[in-house]
Amino acid sequence: MIDLLAPHPRTVLGHWPTPLEPAPRLAAELGGGTRIWIKRDDCTGLALGGNKTRKLEFLLGQALAEGHTTVVTFGAVQSNHARQTAAACARLGLRCELLLSRSVPRTDTLYETSGNVLLDGVLGARVRVVDGMDETLAALEEIGPAFVIPPGGSNAVGTLGYVAAALEFAGQAERSPEIGGVDRIVVASSTTGTVAGLLLGLEHARLPAVVEAACVYRPADETAAELDTLLGETAALLGVEPRAGGRSVRDDWFGPGYGVPTPEMTEAVRLFARTEGVLLDPVYSGKAAAALVGMVRSGEIGPGETVVFWHTGGSPGLFVYPDVFTGR
């Protein structure tokens, strides 16, 4: 198989491969005869882990190759991407500037001082909360020359991290005959880089699993359009054709908006914790888990199917939603 990624600068930041684990107690609890596995990208090893580590290997690989010493990126106040960028910059000796926005309708002290944003400071990043484009542009001007990473690390270079992830996963599945054929992969989708990379990597590995993308940031039509654009850009960077089909973009479990809890998310987080000892987060993996639970219970994912839940990390977010999870 041609090594698609060899021409692209990369700096290793994670622990690879991340585990691929069966979830028999979760499957038994849901019923329906579905086989469930969890791909543990919460175990990437960089500052409590998460999917953005994979993207940062290529993004910061490019930054180092170009001689940058300062990195700027963007996200919500409780951005997992910002935390992992701060950690990666600390490891590589780069100055890290985080420009965070109030994308979730909360301004309470707990939300703006705990969880991921607390860790950003511990990791040595300079954190600024910016309101609107004028403040953002002023901050960028003050920072000066820097390597700029888009929200979520989701450009064509960052997406290469999930091309690599799909190839890693295909190898694990091939070496684990107990998995059998993988029918579906359920994963959260916000800025679409994770899904785009998985689709391209699965195509290259000739693994025909359908990627079920659970929207957590924007509605399905907007997410699908952004995904198509990023697929085309990343395919062009790699010199391949973008994968046609092989995915479903769903917003059935999105709820009222980004970072807004839903009962389905809360139940799914508890289910994963109490059956498999796996911690999800309220914003991303929790809503994707709600999608998995909903599809199994409705019979959309049927008896005999094998489904992989791709855990994108984010557990520090649990600490800023205590009211959602206290009680039963």
Interatomic CA distance for residues 322 and 16, integer angstroms: 32
Res 70 pLDDT > 80: yes
Q: What is the pLDDT of residues 282-311, one digit of tens each?
A: 999 999 999 999 999 999 999 999 999 999
243 pLDDT band (50/70/90 cuts)? confident
- Give residues with Cβ within 8 angstroms of 201, minimum separation 6: 162, 163, 164, 165, 166, 167, 169, 170
**What architecture does CATH give domain 20-49+155-325?**
3-Layer(aba) Sandwich (3.40)
Residues of the chain with CATH 3.40.50.1100: 20-49+155-325, 52-152
Interatomic CA distance for residues 206 and 1, integer angstroms: 11
Interatomic CA distance for residues 204 and 163, integer angstroms: 9
1 pLDDT band (50/70/90 cuts)? very low
Mean pLDDT of 218-237: 97
What's the order of all strands across the beta sheet hosting 95-101? 126-129, 95-101, 70-76, 147-149
How far from 153 is each of 30, 193, 282, 318, CA to CA, in Å?
A: 34, 7, 20, 22
Higher pLDDT, 308 or 179: 308
Active site residues: 79
Q: What is the pLDDT of residues 104-129, one digit of tens each?
A: 999 999 999 999 999 999 999 999 99
Q: Is 138 helix (H, G, I), strand (E, B) or coil?
A: helix
- Give residues with Cβ within 8 angstroms of 128, minimum separation 6: 97, 98, 99, 100, 139
- For 101, the enclosing helix (H) or strand (E) is strand 95-101
Q: What is the mean pLDDT of the chain?
A: 96
Res 2 pLDDT > 70: no
For 315, list phi and psi in degrees, rounded to 5: -60, -25
CB 283 within 8 A of CB 317: yes
Q: Was domain 52-152 assigned CATH 3.20.20.70?
A: no
What is the value of pTM for the model shown?
A: 0.97
